[in-house]
Structure 1
Amino acid sequence: MKLKSILGQLMPLKSIVAASVEEARLLATRWDVPQANRDGFFDAGEGKLVKLAPDLADREPRYILTAPDAKGRQYRVAGRMLAEDLGSGSTSVATPLLFGVLGLLAMLTIVVPRPVGIVTALLALVTLGCLRTATRPGKSWTFSAGLFGLVLPVFASAATRSPMMTALCFLPLILMPVLYAGGEQNRRAKRLAIQGRKAGGEDSSAVTAHVAARKTQAEAVARDDSPTLPMGTSMGKLTHRGDGLAADRGLELQVSLRDLSTHLLVLGETNSGKTSSQIRPKVAQLMRLRKLGYEIGLLLADGKGALAGEHKGMIDYVALSPRTQVVALYEHLSASDIARAHEENNLAAGGNGGGSEQTWNGMTAACCRPAIYMLEALVKHGMKDKNGEPWEWTLLCHDRLGKIFLSGEDRLDELEDYWTQIAAHEGMIDGLLQEAYIYSTQTVQALAAETRGSILANWTLWFAPYLSHPDLMRWAAASHGQSVEVCLHGKAIGLDVNGSLYGQAANLVVKFLKARVTSELQRRAGCANGDWKKADPTATECFLVLDEAQDLLVQSDFDLLPKVRSLGGRYLLATQSIESLLAISKNEHSVRAMLASILSRVALRTSPMTAKWMQEGIGMGRVPHRESESTMVDFVRSVSKAYSAPTWDEGHPLARRLARFRRKLGGTHFKDARIDRSDKGLFGDHMANDLVLVREMKEEPILELSQFAALTAETGVALVDIRRGGIPRRDFVRVGEPMLSLPEDLVDPTYSERDLNAEDAVKRQAAVDAARAAEAERSTEDATALSISHDEETNHQPLTALLDAIRNPETTTEEKNQ
């Protein structure tokens, strides 16, 4: 035990190992971001342990400052680690032990016969070269140890019989490990002192600016109990730019449902994969969450009319199509909502034109509002038109009433009669109704006939698209139908109005139906204390998923989006570029304000202007500027330069002499100008001087536009800049496999859909058959009751004439004969 205790004091291996492990931990730990323990928790301060989300577990060291030690102190890594420690490693700490092994071999010669000692010495010479190779970092020391610690002691002990002389011969052996270890420590200490003194980059704010934000982010994510959606696998590109908010390579970027309350924008040109790799997977993930019991609604729409139809047959999902369902365009919309919807759908498109186009659109809008206010009163009191048909809250009736307004004196009496009835029901006409009355009976009547005709032509341009197809006519004439607003109550709805079938009207119809949803969202703001969930327990959050959003967004969306978060609305938008969104409205500032409210962005291959916008959104950072002697050889230019030299000029007056120089000097022999014959002794130092130094932490954009263009050129690579726990989280990512069809777990095996056209055809045929049967019955009865005189003076009428009279009662047989 005493021997073990003595050896433990002389060689405290356990404490040496523990100190080494602690030093490695201090050097390699990513201290500037929360780090989890073995159980996945991190220290949030004051003894509070918080669960660290796996997608925030960055571990790649920065090697600038050490992690805080037991006393909270931090030091420069440059003063405690050499570059070779991270690469090949320095000379092994076991090298002194090897020297001791050499001495042990020599001491063994004492116990063997002297002649055998000579043989051992000779064998030592043979093994010396192998030992030098085995310890290349310290070859000179190995040679010295082998010579003085093995060879000479062995020869000396073999040549003498005195034990004292033998012991003296082994004295260099005893000192060799100590001298080597001390020399190595002194050499390392000098290098660390010089390196650590010059490298003071930890004074830059870039090293610690993000520390508080990352801690806040980790704590916020730990409190967020909503499920997460994957965004892709990080490539670690931005973290190499010194971005403290970027993800390490290989981490999965994720966003939670709560994070998506600040909306998501996907940007990508045609065929970049924005729909297949982003929108469809997000829809599928949200639908799976609904299957798990999460109360969220969905509204799917597409500027090109494809997205909603692509998801037909999905469990608990209804695609509203003019061919399969009846939807009333005006249902649940107020008069003001309808007027604004028409203005946004038409003024936004023509507002930039200026001149007469803007004038006629403005005058049409001036007619649209009074007409809808009057229609509201007509419907409210159950009034009927001159044909006895009731006025209904439909686009078709709105169109008819507007045309009556613009008919001038021809139908002024009809208008006056309607106003008389309205006044009888209302008691008096005031407010908006009074304005509508003045406009319809005075203002518009005072216009020249040509002006009214031009307004009427423009009115037709506004309303005709909704009436351009039998399927759409059904929706325009309907006052009640399928509810679109159920998406605000936990249902999944798609607006399947295909542009290839319905043309320009498709987007107009979708905008109207979307207006029904956004109008109800806005009405939530009127709930007591803003608690819309308490006011309506069935109300839920709703994701408005709009592909090709530039064709569907209107000014009301720009106004609503910044504040819709508190009302339960979440926008998931996809478009090709920023330019396509800026072109929506003549008010660029309102569009940019809307874009500023969308805090999570994904950019695939897209336009340079969009890349610039993403760069501005990510912002500035202290980016390390590295310097090194690394160069590249331009082989083509080197050879071209050589062949352009005068020695290759065949037209030169001294071409023959120059050709001799070419043969003598070598026309295409090259020499590195950095290396001279006099520097051969320093060649090893030149080759070993590969330290890449950061000379400056310069403030500049974190995202390089050239890097963005190069990386996103590959399909499946996107720049993701999301809000995670309210703090930015970003990097280039590799997205998942594109989704080209519905996942099997979301397919409804019992799915079937109605065909309204077929149903209408059956109804029409049944009506025709019933009419024919009734006509045949009436013909039989009339033929029985009819007494045909056989008087010679009576003209005989064939039966077909009688049937014709029955079919057309307004025209008598006598009139036809005439």
Structure 2
Amino acid sequence: MKIKSIVGTLMPIKSMLASSIEEARVLATRWDVPQANREGLFDAGNGQMLPLSKDLQDRQSRYILTSPDSRGRQYRVAGRMLAEDLGSGSTSVATPLLFGVLGVFAMLTTVLPRGLGVITGALALATLLLIRTATAPRKGWTFTAALFGLLLPVLAASSSRSALISLICFLPSCLMPLMYAWSEQRKRAKRLAIQGRKAGGEDGSALTSHVAARKAQAIAAAKDDSPLLPMGTSMGELTHRGDGFAADGGLPISISLKDLSTHMIIFGETGSGKTSTQLRPKIAQLMRLRKLGYVIGLLIADGKGALAGEHAGMIDFKNLNPKRQVVSLYQGLSSSDIARQHEENNMPAAGSSSGSEKTWNGMTAACCRPAIYMLEALVKHGLHDSNGEPWKWSLLCHDRLGKLFLAGEDRLDEIKHYWEQIAQLEGGVIDGLLEEAYLYSTQTVQALAPETRGSILANWTLWFAPYLSHPDLMRWAAADTGESVEACLHGSAVGLDISGSLYGQHSANLVVKFLKARVTSEMQRRAGCAGGDWEKVDPTASHCYLCLDEFQDIVTQADIDLVPKARSLGGVYIVATQTIESLLQASKNENSTNAMLASFLSRVALRTSPKTAKWMQEGIGMGRVPHRESDSTMVDFVRSVAKAYSAPIWDEGHPMARMLASFRRKLGGTHFKDHRIEGGGKGVFGDRLANDLVLVREMKEEPILELSQFATLTAETGVALVDIRRGGVPRRDYVRVVAPMFSIPEDLLDPNYVVRDLDAEDAITRKAAMEAALASEAERVTAEEQLSITHDEENNQPLAALLDAIRNPEATEIQEEK
């Protein structure tokens, strides 16, 4: 035990190992972001320890400043670590021992018998080779070890019998381990002192500006008990740009349900996978949460009209299809909502129409508003049209009433008759919007020239014809009640399955806009609840996630106005579009569209347009990006060879081609001269092979996102730039997204799903009605035959004929004479 204690005192390997580990921890710890202990907890301040979410556990050190010590002091890593420490490691602590081993073998060579001395001599030579390897590329220590550690002691011991002289000759060999270790430490200290003095570029706020935000992010994420929705795996590209909010490579990227409430927009050109890797997985994740008991609603729609249909058959999902359900376009909408939606649906985007087109659209809108105000009064009082049919709160009745307005004097009396009934039921007073409608229908529009009314009527037809262009759509246009689209605001999952390929893309998009308006209108009405507490006013109300594909085709002004405030009203937009240009092109006001886009705080960009990449770059913002420099160069092999073959000695058409060709052998064919290798250099060959140290010359403020890198990385299918909110703080990087989803997952399939066909049901209803009518007619004929009265034995007249004879005796006498 004493020997072990003495050895431990002379060679404190355990303490040295512990000191080395602590030094490595100080140098390599990512101190600018929260770090978890072995229990997975981090210090949130004020003595509070919270769990650190796995997707926020960044560990890759920046190697700029050491982690704070007990006093909060930090030092430059450049003053405590060399680049080779991170690469191949520093000099091994065992290397100095080789010099001692060499001395031992040298001593044994002199004292052992000749036979054994040969063996120890061979071992000494082998140790010398190990020293050469361990101290490479420097040759000086090998030569010194051979001279003072082997040759001098052996020669002195063999040629001198004086013990003092032998001791003196062995003394350098004994001191060589200490000399080597001291020399290496001194050389390292010099390098660190110079390197650390010159590396002063880290003294800036760029290294610490994100520290508080990242800590707040970790605290918010720890307190967020909402489920996490996985998005993929980080590639660690932005962290190399010095971005404090970027994720390390290999970490999962997730967004919580709470963070998703700040809305998400997904960009990707056709075939990039925005639907299969983003929208469908999000829908599946939300539907699974519904199965777990989370009360959330979904509205699924698509500018192509395909997304909702792809999810038909999903459990607890209502897919609204014109062939299978009846839905009213106007149900739940106010007259102002309807007039505004018609106007928006038909007014062209900014800068895309001529002045005359705007004029005619404006005059049509001027007719649309009074017509819907009057229709509202007709429905309110239960009035009937000239055919005895009740007026309904439907698009079809709106279309009929508008055409009555534009028919001119031919239908003026009918319009006045309606107004007389309305006035009577309104207590003899027509004011406000009704007065405006009355004056327009009886005076303003009647004063227009017939040609003008005809042009407005033609434009009116263009406005309303798309909704009436197919029997299935006609059914919805004529309905005043039907399935509830607004059920998505009360915990249901609803899909708008209006196929653009079947009904025409324009018609399908207009129908989707109207049905979506029903949802946005009710959501906006939540703002009027007392204290803004819409959940208290309506206990059945829930948050609703609007999953909209090809958003540019179905976006409305209501969406643009609603997105910035939808979070407080329980609405969450998850939209996908191809490019930023497609949204701006569909916009009627570019400024308001930009304001809406700024409200999408979580953004995903797959392969898309340069302008969209530029928008993502601006959204990520500026950063202090390290600018690296080195003496490294690259060899352009192709251009080098091409230049060589363009020389005259390779010109076969040259007048002196044969003589020039003879120079090729002297030049060595296509031999290339590199000034870095052949002459001009003062260093030895080993120095020329030394690796260049890459230096960060400055931390320059510039965009964090490189557009060239974006184009290169997103060219690969399955790679996206993700810039989301996590704990209310940005979290971003290039991500390998989740596997594409092309069908409904097995766990979400409804085993009891049955496809309903309204056409078949209508056919059955019509057949039953016809059979009932025929049966009724047959019963009537039978009853008449039983009640027949006989005037003579030859002619049996039924009761109907007898009654005719009583009413028209003259006609009966004439018939009898004939």
Q: Distance in 1 between matches of 2:779 and 2:291?
A: 58
1:226 correspondence with 2:226: yes
Determine which of 551, 557, 560 is the counterpart of 1:558: 560
1:470 correspondence with 2:471: yes
Correspondence list, 1:618-629, <5 A: 618-629=620-631
Q: Distance in 2 between matches of 1:589 and 1:488?
A: 29
Return the offset for 1:735: 1.0
When residues 268 and 532 of structure 1 are mapped into structure 2, their CA distance, relative to the original with a 3 A threshold, is same
Q: Distance in 1 between matches of 2:774 and 2:88?
A: 99
* Residue type of the alignment partner of 1:531: D
Q: Distance in 2 between matches of 1:706 and 1:788?
A: 103
Indicate the larger mover: 577-586 or 149-158.
149-158
Q: Distance in 2 between matches of 1:125 and 1:384?
A: 118
Q: Deviations over 1:781-814 (max 9, x none)?
A: 445556798999x9x99x9xx9xx9xxxxxx999
User: Secondary structure at 2:720's aligned position in 1?
Assistant: strand
Q: Distance in 2 between matches of 1:466 and 1:135?
A: 85
* Residue type of the alignment partner of 1:278: Q
Determine which of 600, 603, 627 is the counterpart of 1:601: 603
Aligned residues of 1:300 and 1:493 also touching (Cα < 8 A)? yes
Q: Distance in 1 between matches of 2:777 and 2:416?
A: 41
Determine which of 614, 617, 622 is the counterpart of 1:612: 614
When residues 623 and 681 of structure 1 are mapped into structure 2, their CA distance, relative to the original with a 3 A threshold, is closer
Indicate the larger mover: 129-138 or 471-480.
129-138
Partner residue in 2 for 1:265: 265
Determine which of 702, 718, 728 is the counterpart of 2:730: 728
Aligned residues of 2:330 and 2:480 also touching (Cα < 8 A)? yes
Partner residue in 2 for 1:131: 130
Partner residue in 2 for 1:590: 592
Q: Deviations over 1:472-504 (max 9, x none)?
A: 222122222111111111110001111111113
Return the offset for 1:336: 1.0
User: Secondary structure at 2:681's aligned position in 1?
Assistant: helix
Aligned residues of 1:99 and 1:142 also touching (Cα < 8 A)? no
Partner residue in 1 for 2:76: 76
Partner residue in 2 for 1:809: none
Return the offset for 1:674: 2.1
Q: Deviations over 1:97-123 (max 9, x none)?
A: 22223334445568x655456435543
User: Secondary structure at 2:684's aligned position in 1?
Assistant: helix
Partner residue in 2 for 1:54: 54
* Residue type of the alignment partner of 1:534: K
Return the offset for 1:401: 1.3
Partner residue in 2 for 1:516: 518
Return the offset for 1:686: 2.3
Return the offset for 1:671: 1.1
Q: Distance in 2 between matches of 1:535 and 1:686?
A: 79
Aligned residues of 1:371 and 1:401 also touching (Cα < 8 A)? yes
Correspondence list, 1:281-680, <5 A: 281-348=281-348, 352-427=352-427, 428-503=429-504, 504-649=506-651, 658-677=660-679, 679=681
User: Secondary structure at 1:92's aligned position in 2?
Assistant: coil
Return the offset for 1:736: 1.5
Q: Distance in 1 between matches of 2:384 and 2:647?
A: 99
* Residue type of the alignment partner of 2:415: L
1:751 correspondence with 2:750: no
Q: Deviations over 1:195-221 (max 9, x none)?
A: 111121202332222222211211121
Aligned residues of 1:133 and 1:139 also touching (Cα < 8 A)? yes
User: Secondary structure at 2:638's aligned position in 1?
Assistant: helix
Partner residue in 1 for 2:275: 275
Return the offset for 1:519: 0.5
Q: Deviations over 1:313-340 (max 9, x none)?
A: 1111010111111111111111111111
Correspondence list, 1:215-254, <5 A: 215-254=215-254
User: Secondary structure at 1:195's aligned position in 2?
Assistant: helix
Q: Distance in 2 between matches of 1:658 and 1:141?
A: 53
* Residue type of the alignment partner of 1:469: H
Return the offset for 1:563: 0.7
Q: Distance in 2 between matches of 1:351 and 1:461?
A: 20
* Residue type of the alignment partner of 2:509: N
Q: Distance in 1 between matches of 2:124 and 2:15?
A: 37
Return the offset for 1:225: 1.1
User: Secondary structure at 1:723's aligned position in 2?
Assistant: strand
* Residue type of the alignment partner of 2:338: I
Return the offset for 1:276: 0.8
Partner residue in 2 for 1:16: 16
When residues 384 and 654 of structure 1 are mapped into structure 2, their CA distance, relative to the original with a 3 A threshold, is closer
When residues 362 and 350 of structure 1 are mapped into structure 2, their CA distance, relative to the original with a 3 A threshold, is farther
Q: Distance in 2 between matches of 1:683 and 1:153?
A: 33
Q: Distance in 2 between matches of 1:322 and 1:502?
A: 10
* Residue type of the alignment partner of 1:135: A
Q: Deviations over 1:704-747 (max 9, x none)?
A: 11111111111111111111112111111111211111100000
Q: Distance in 1 between matches of 2:731 and 2:624?
A: 17
Return the offset for 1:526: 0.4
> Kindly, what percent of the aligned residue pairs are identical?
72
Q: Distance in 1 between matches of 2:735 and 2:63?
A: 24
Aligned residues of 2:105 and 2:124 also touching (Cα < 8 A)? no
Return the offset for 1:777: 2.8
User: Secondary structure at 1:170's aligned position in 2?
Assistant: helix
Return the offset for 1:656: 5.5
When residues 594 and 104 of structure 1 are mapped into structure 2, their CA distance, relative to the original with a 3 A threshold, is same
User: Secondary structure at 2:540's aligned position in 1?
Assistant: coil
Indicate the larger mover: 773-782 or 253-262.
773-782
Aligned residues of 1:114 and 1:158 also touching (Cα < 8 A)? no
Indicate the larger mover: 770-779 or 645-654.
645-654
Return the offset for 1:643: 2.5
User: Secondary structure at 2:37's aligned position in 1?
Assistant: coil
Q: Distance in 2 between matches of 1:176 and 1:464?
A: 100
When residues 182 and 787 of structure 1 are mapped into structure 2, their CA distance, relative to the original with a 3 A threshold, is same
Return the offset for 1:67: 1.3
* Residue type of the alignment partner of 1:464: A
Q: Distance in 1 between matches of 2:680 and 2:609?
A: 55
Partner residue in 2 for 1:808: none
Query: Gapped runs of 5+ residues in structure 2?
Result: 805-810
Q: Deviations over 1:520-564 (max 9, x none)?
A: 100000011101111111111100111111111111111111111
Return the offset for 1:752: 0.9
The CA RMSD measured in Å over matched residues stands at: 2.7
Aligned residues of 1:64 and 1:76 also touching (Cα < 8 A)? yes
Return the offset for 1:679: 3.0
Aligned residues between the structures: 802
Indicate the larger mover: 310-319 or 584-593.
584-593
Return the offset for 1:665: 3.2
